[in-house]
């Protein structure tokens, strides 16, 4: 057999079926679910009378919408969450997990937390598995050597119904970080540096394997931070080969295999590495010694600079798209070119998110905060642990006390100010030192200004009141040992906790030990997918002649296409007014009402545009929110043309009957843009894969690429869940083989019983006082 990459191996081990057009049906081992991207998927199942195929492969928690204030008085979601739409989304999930028998960690369960923290923490995420979630940062789980990627809501429904996903094979990219990281340099600096080098579109169409000595010497927490941000480099997924560090992390976790099954798993996991001589489409080398403390200045994660640098000056940029992008970012961020980064003052700091809210991150921040107080100009420092268990662990180590003594605010677990779907947001023009992963316009609140950095750097900025080079920070080293917990001690704590919890589960579960641990709970025959209703169908796409709106911008993220406040709906429609909301409206200072700007879609004739012609790369990057294509569709857009698209957005568009077309930037500039700006419509002929001038019928693009299977579905208006269910025979066959070969994956989340209402932490300490 030819040498294969880590990605090739995991991909190939999950192929259920390959059709003639070259499209694959992949089996999904682990499906994580949260409240924002699941309501419409469960609704779809209900409408079609479909069950969740593998409840044991599905695990749900709640994270985006929940307040992070103390839960001392928590009774239930209805009385605890004030915001109506947030409450509705959480309540809808709670109803759905009951209706579909999905294991759920709710707000009264100390295992609740950010979905990407909970999966690994429970041992649900395992090497060599396929992991999906309706969330772009699912790439996090790739740190275990899993193939993990974000999906849209239609795909969530597809996975719930069929336990499979339709996929094209991505390209292989390797980023090797050679040598040792310098003292004080963290995984966050490393990943920001990498994105600064390859750009936010650098990984488009690829799965990135992070390799090299610097990566291998990192802890699992640090590896997760890196894979977490692979999506910010535009990649489909990030992966790191599993090794002893991985196996040690997994061992003893509640859902990890045990005994003979663990031995069997280890034998397989040890084969998961790229073979000598395996082919990589792109092979990038980075010297670890080049990496210094890194922070972002603009509105894209690629706007990363060493802390020793100054704000860039657009006067030195020649490329017109880059120059105007830079000018816009500087204006938005309220920055003056050539100001030293260390001279920029902050208003708030946020230490949290699925990138940096693990115990190691909190320890790093506490080490900096110890013995200090936040600066007077800093109004708020939010410390938001990634899960209830991390919170409990931090409290056991006394980190909460260190933070409180420094004047920081110690909170309950959730996504919090990373996205601000809950009440934790910045006020307009406030500047935040943030450990999250996205610095998009409006990300942390309308007109908010975000700068990404490591936990230690964010804590140092909070103490000093301005960005600070952590290498020059004055640590209170005399107290350091009190904060630093030896790994062995920590591991022991975790092991005890896990076993204690597991005993509880096993005692409650009938059957033999082997059955209890490894058997899939039997679905009643009547609930099997066979009963599924026929395909629902999508709008057909044939030949479209439509008004085409030009959009002269690169890296348009899905946060910009549809901001977070519109994600709280539990429906797929009604999003028209939210489309490009921040760009289309400004608030009238007197009346407080929305007033239209001169954004292209507010101008005639583009109010009736059906096609969007984007000149810059990477349209629809970032978040997996399917609300972006829903909003475009609601507006009337049916086709988007751009040099490249964010992977998840590209997929989501097809699922909704929208056609994204990739056309090289120079062809757009030289051929399409002049026709469109001259006021001509375009004709998109999908069957012929051609673009013509809508007025003269002149052929402008003789051939554009589109995968055969996607074209087939679009032209015929086919719903792919219906199509996949016709492949039941292949799915069952794969499952039979999987039961033998990967027996250590059986049982999944059903090995844990929901312990709703429990006040007990698995650490055996009083984690929360509710």
Ligand X SMILES: CC(C)[C@H](C(=O)O)[C@@H](O)C(=O)O
Contact of residue 655 among ligand X, ligand SF4, none (CB under 5-8 Å per partner type): none
Closer by beta carbon to ligand X, 419 or else 723: 419
Give min distance, CB of 340 to ligand SF4, in A: 29
The position carrying tokens 């709703």 is: 756
Contact of residue 353 among ligand X, ligand SF4, none (CB under 5-8 Å per partner type): ligand SF4
The two structure tokens encoding residue 700: 């402008």
- The residues near 233 (Cβ < 8 Å, ≥ 6 apart) are 194, 195, 198, 199, 200, 202, 203, 208, 301
Angle at 735 between CA 271 and CA 159, to 5 degrees: 95
Q: How many CA atoms does the CB half-sphere of 710 hold within 13 Å?
A: 20
Closer by beta carbon to ligand X, 86 or else 624: 624
Contact of residue 557 among ligand X, ligand SF4, none (CB under 5-8 Å per partner type): none
Give min distance, CB of 486 to ligand X, in A: 34
Contact of residue 36 among ligand SF4, ligand X, none (CB under 5-8 Å per partner type): ligand X
Peptide bond into 605 cis (omega under 30): yes
Closer by beta carbon to ligand SF4, 40 or else 139: 139
The two structure tokens encoding residue 428: 């307009």
Give min distance, CB of 354 to ligand SF4, in A: 3
Give min distance, CB of 37 to ligand X, in A: 5
Closer by beta carbon to ligand SF4, 166 or else 432: 432
Give min distance, CB of 648 to ligand X, in A: 7
692-721 exposure pattern, b = at least 16 Cβ within 10 A, e = fewer: bbbeeeeebbeebebeebbbbbbeeebbbb
Closer by beta carbon to ligand X, 136 or else 299: 136
Which residues of this chain interact with ligand X, rule CB under 6 A?
Answer: 36-37, 64, 135-137, 150, 419, 567, 623-625
Closer by beta carbon to ligand SF4, 303 or else 693: 303
Give min distance, CB of 443 to ligand X, in A: 8
Contact of residue 625 among ligand X, ligand SF4, none (CB under 5-8 Å per partner type): ligand X
The two structure tokens encoding residue 463: 């103490």
Closer by beta carbon to ligand X, 36 or else 291: 36
Q: Which of 320, 348, 344 is nearest to 333 (CA)?
A: 344
Angle at 368 between CA 367 and CA 370, to 5 degrees: 70
The H or E element that residue 692 is part of is: strand 690-693
Give min distance, CB of 149 to ligand X, in A: 11
CA 209 to centroid of chain Cα atoms:
17
- The residues near 492 (Cβ < 8 Å, ≥ 6 apart) are none
Given strand 682-685, what is the order of strands in its sheet?
543-546, 682-685, 690-693, 699-701
Closer by beta carbon to ligand X, 228 or else 768: 228
- Where does residue 619 rank: exposed (0-12), middle (13-18), buried (19+ CB within 10 A)? buried
The position carrying tokens 């629902």 is: 536
Closer by beta carbon to ligand SF4, 348 or else 710: 348
Give min distance, CB of 436 to ligand X, in A: 8
Give min distance, CB of 653 to ligand X, in A: 15
The two structure tokens encoding residue 51: 């069950």
Closer by beta carbon to ligand X, 350 or else 734: 350
In the chain, the N- to C-terminal Cα span, in Å, equals 57
Which residues of this chain interact with ligand SF4, rule CB under 6 A?
Answer: 63-64, 114, 135, 137, 353-354, 415, 418-419, 436-437
- The residues near 591 (Cβ < 8 Å, ≥ 6 apart) are none
Give min distance, CB of 233 to ligand SF4, in A: 15
Contact of residue 150 among ligand SF4, ligand X, none (CB under 5-8 Å per partner type): ligand X
CA 24 to centroid of chain Cα atoms:
23
Give min distance, CB of 644 to ligand SF4, in A: 22
C-alpha distances (whole Å) from 454 to each of 196, 295, 357, 432 are 15, 8, 11, 13
Instruction: Specify the 3-state DSSP secondary structure of 36.
Output: coil
Closer by beta carbon to ligand X, 133 or else 214: 133
């Amino acid at each position: 057999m030819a040498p294969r990459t880590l990605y090739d191996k995991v991909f190939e081990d999950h192929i259920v079926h390959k059709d003639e057009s070259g499209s694959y049906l992949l089996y999904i081992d682990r499906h994580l679910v949260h409240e924002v991207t699941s309501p419409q998927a469960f609704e779809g199942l209900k409408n079609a009378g479909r069950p969740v195929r593998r409840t044991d492969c599905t695990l749900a928690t709640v994270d985006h919408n929940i307040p992070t204030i103390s839960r001392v008085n928590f009774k239930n979601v209805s009385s605890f969450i004030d915001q109506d739409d947030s409450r509705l989304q959480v309540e809808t999930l709670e109803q759905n997990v009951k209706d579909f028998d999905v294991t759920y960690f709710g707000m009264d369960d100390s295992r609740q937390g950010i979905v990407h923290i909970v999966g690994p923490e429970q041992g649900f995420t395992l090497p060599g598995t396929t992991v999906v979630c309706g969330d772009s940062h699912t790439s996090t789980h790739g740190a275990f050597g899993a193939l993990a990627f974000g999906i849209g809501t239609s795909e969530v429904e597809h996975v719930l119904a069929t336990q499979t996903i339709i996929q094209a094979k991505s390209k292989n990219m390797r980023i090797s970080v050679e040598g040792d990281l310098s003292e004080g340099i963290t995984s966050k600096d490393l990943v920001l540096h990498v994105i600064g080098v390859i750009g936010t579109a650098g990984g488009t169409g690829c799965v990135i394997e992070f390799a090299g000595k610097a990566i291998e010497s990192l802890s699992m927490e640090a590896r997760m931070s890196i894979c977490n941000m692979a999506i910010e480099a535009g990649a489909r997924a990030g992966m790191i080969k599993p090794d002893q560090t991985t196996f040690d992390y997994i061992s003893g976790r509640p859902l990890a295999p045990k005994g003979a099954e663990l031995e069997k798993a280890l034998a397989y996991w040890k084969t998961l590495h790229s073979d000598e001589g395996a082919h990589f489409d792109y092979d990038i080398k980075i010297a670890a010694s080049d990496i210094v403390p890194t922070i972002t200045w603009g509105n894209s994660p690629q706007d990363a600079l060493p802390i020793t640098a100054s704000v860039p000056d657009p006067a030195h940029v020649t490329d017109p798209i880059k120059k105007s992008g830079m000018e816009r970012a500087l204006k938005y961020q309220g920055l003056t070119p050539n100001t030293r980064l260390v001279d920029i003052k902050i208003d708030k700091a946020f230490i949290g998110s699925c990138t940096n809210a693990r115990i190691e991150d909190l320890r790093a921040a506490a080490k900096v905060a110890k013995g200090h107080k936040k600066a007077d100009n800093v109004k708020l420092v939010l410390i938001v642990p990634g899960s209830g268990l991390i919170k409990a662990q931090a409290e056991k180590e006394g980190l909460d006390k260190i933070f409180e003594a420094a004047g920081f605010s110690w909170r309950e677990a959730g996504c919090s100010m990373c996205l601000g779907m809950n009440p934790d947001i910045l006020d307009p023009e406030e500047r935040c030192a943030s450990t999250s992963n996205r610095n998009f316009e409006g990300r942390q609140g309308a007109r908010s200004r975000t700068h990404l950095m490591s936990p230690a750097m964010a804590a140092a900025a909070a103490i000093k009141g301005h960005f600070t080079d952590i290498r020059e920070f004055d640590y209170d080293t005399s107290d350091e040992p009190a904060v630093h917990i030896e790994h062995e001690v920590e591991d022991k704590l975790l092991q005890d906790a896990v076993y204690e919890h597991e005993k509880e589960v096993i005692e409650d579960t009938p059957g033999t030990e082997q059955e209890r641990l490894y058997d899939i709970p039997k679905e009643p025959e009547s609930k099997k997918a066979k009963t599924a209703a026929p395909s629902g169908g999508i709008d057909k796409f044939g030949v479209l002649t439509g008004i085409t709106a030009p959009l002269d911008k690169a890296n348009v993220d899905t946060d910009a296409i549809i901001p977070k406040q519109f994600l709280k709906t539990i429906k797929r429609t009604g999003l028209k007014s939210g489309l490009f909301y921040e760009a289309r409206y400004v608030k009238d200072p007197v009346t407080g009402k929305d007033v239209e700007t001169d954004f292209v879609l507010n101008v005639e004739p583009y109010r009736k545009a059906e096609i969007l012609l984007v000149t810059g790369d990477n349209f629809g990057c970032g978040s997996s929110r399917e609300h972006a294509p829903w909003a475009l569709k609601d507006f009337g857009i049916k086709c988007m043309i751009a040099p490249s698209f964010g992977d998840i957005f590209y997929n989501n568009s097809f699922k909704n009957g929208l056609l994204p077309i990739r056309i090289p930037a120079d062809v757009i500039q030289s051929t399409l843009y002049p026709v469109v700006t001259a006021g001509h419509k375009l004709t998109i002929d999908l069957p012929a894969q051609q673009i013509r001038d809508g007025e003269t019928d002149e052929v402008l693009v003789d051939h554009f690429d589109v995968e055969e299977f996607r074209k087939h579905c679009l032209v015929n208006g086919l719903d792919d869940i219906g199509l996949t269910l016709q492949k039941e025979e292949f799915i069952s066959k794969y499952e039979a083989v999987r039961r033998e070969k990967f027996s250590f994956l059986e049982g999944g989340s059903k090995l844990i019983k929901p312990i709703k209402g429990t006040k007990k932490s698995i650490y055996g300490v009083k984690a929360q006082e509710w």
